[in-house]
Amino acid sequence: VGPWLPSLLRRSAEAAQQVAARGDVGQVDYFTLEFVLIMGLPRIFLGASIAAGVWLLARARRRPLGALILLWLAFLIALANPSVSGLPNGFLDNGTVIVALYLPACLLLGLALGDMAGLVGSALRARWGRGWPADLALALGVAVAAQGGVEAMLSWGYEPLRAHVTNSDLSALEWIREHTPADARFAVASNFWLAEGLEGVDGGFWIPYAAGRQTTLPPMVYINEATPAGIAETNALARAMDAAASAEEFAAVLQRAGVDYAYRGIRAEQPWYCWLEDADVFQPLYEAEGVGVYRLR
């Protein structure tokens, strides 16, 4: 094993302990067909995987591995839904399971196609004394499917929905670089893509890289590289920002965290954006094309 294994196991244990210590993390149930099709498996891939699962269940005595994979998937779904498993929220969620559906899907498809090819090959050998046409047909089918998948991916082209930074953000980032102190720290928009993991959602995520200023949001890998205390502190700040019931309360949250600026992007709304409009608490420094930069008074 590599030298990274002890560190990986230690950090995994620390993360599990941190999650187990939290009992108030809400589990958002977004295991829907729409989310599966967008973030998990394309419609054709999903349908083929379901058909493969049905085939392998029918052939469970001959292909028990297929049934084990389906049990594994069911177990993961149960772990991701504490109302079913009874485990603390946060260790695994539906989003993680959906994004990783390609793993069991590929295994199911491979087993089912291999089993079908074996049956057809046996029938051909019994009738004509040769079974290689079945293997050839399987190889050609996989090649055609792979080509179709690659062409479908390439046909997407540029998707504005997946771009955090807009032209409006570029102008604001340049303004921040030229008009704010080097030690400025910004409150920026974020979203819990995991129960204990934040992600950026707009141009504010790029402030450290494009403007050289700090923000309330570390890189996404913080859930793997930061200490449990650091992870908890980052997540608690984001929750406190969203939970603020007034501009004064929001400002107090930022002051305790050493944050003196706020960035309002245009890609996603945040519960605290409305507090930035309170001129008694926040001074607008830059506003253009929906993007704004504010400073605590």
pLDDT at 38: 81
Among 273, 104, 136, which residue's Cα sits nearest to residue 204? 273
What does the pLDDT look like over 209-224, one tens digit per residue? Answer: 999 999 999 998 888 7
The predicted model gives 39-46 an average pLDDT of: 87
Question: What is the model's pLDDT at position 291?
Answer: 95
Cα distance between residue 44 and residue 260, in whole Å: 50
Instruction: With CA atoms as reference, report the closest residue to 44 among 161, 178, 173, 148.
Output: 148
Averaged pLDDT score across all residues of the chain? 85
The CATH number of 161-296 is 3.40.50
pTM of the model: 0.64
**Is the predicted pLDDT of residue 226 greater than 80, yes or no?**
yes
Instruction: Express as a percent the part of the chain with pLDDT over 70.
Output: 87
The proportion of the chain whose per-residue pLDDT surpasses 90, expressed as a percent, equals 48
> Could you tell me which residue, 199 or 138, shows the higher pLDDT?
199
- The pLDDT confidence band at residue 26, using thresholds 50, 70 and 90, is very low
- Does residue 7 surpass a pLDDT of 60? yes
Residue pair 200/190 in contact by the 8 Å Cβ criterion: yes
Can you list the positions of beta strands (E) in the chain? Answer: 185-187, 190-194, 197-200, 214-215, 261-264, 282-288, 291-296
φ, ψ of residue 30 to 5 degrees: the values are -120, 30
| pLDDT, tens digit, 9 for 90 and up, residues 45-88 | 899 999 999 999 999 998 899 999 999 999 888 877 776 666 65
Query: Given the structure tokens 């029938």, which residue do they identify?
Result: 123
Amino acid 12: pLDDT: 65
Tell me which residue has tokens 């993961």: 76
Give the model's pLDDT for residue 11.
66
| Domain positions in the chain | 4-155, 161-296
Q: What are the start-end ranges of the H helices in 156-227?
A: 167-179, 207-210, 222-225
Does pLDDT of 15 surpass 90? no
pLDDT at residue 2 in the model: 61
Q: 270: which residues sit within 8 A by CB, 6+ positions away?
A: 189, 241, 242, 264
**Is residue 268 predicted with pLDDT exceeding 60?**
yes
Distance CA 132, CA 124 (A): 8
Backbone angles phi, psi at 247, to 5 degrees: -65, -40
pLDDT tens for 169-185 read 999 999 999 999 999 99
pLDDT surpasses 50 at 23: no
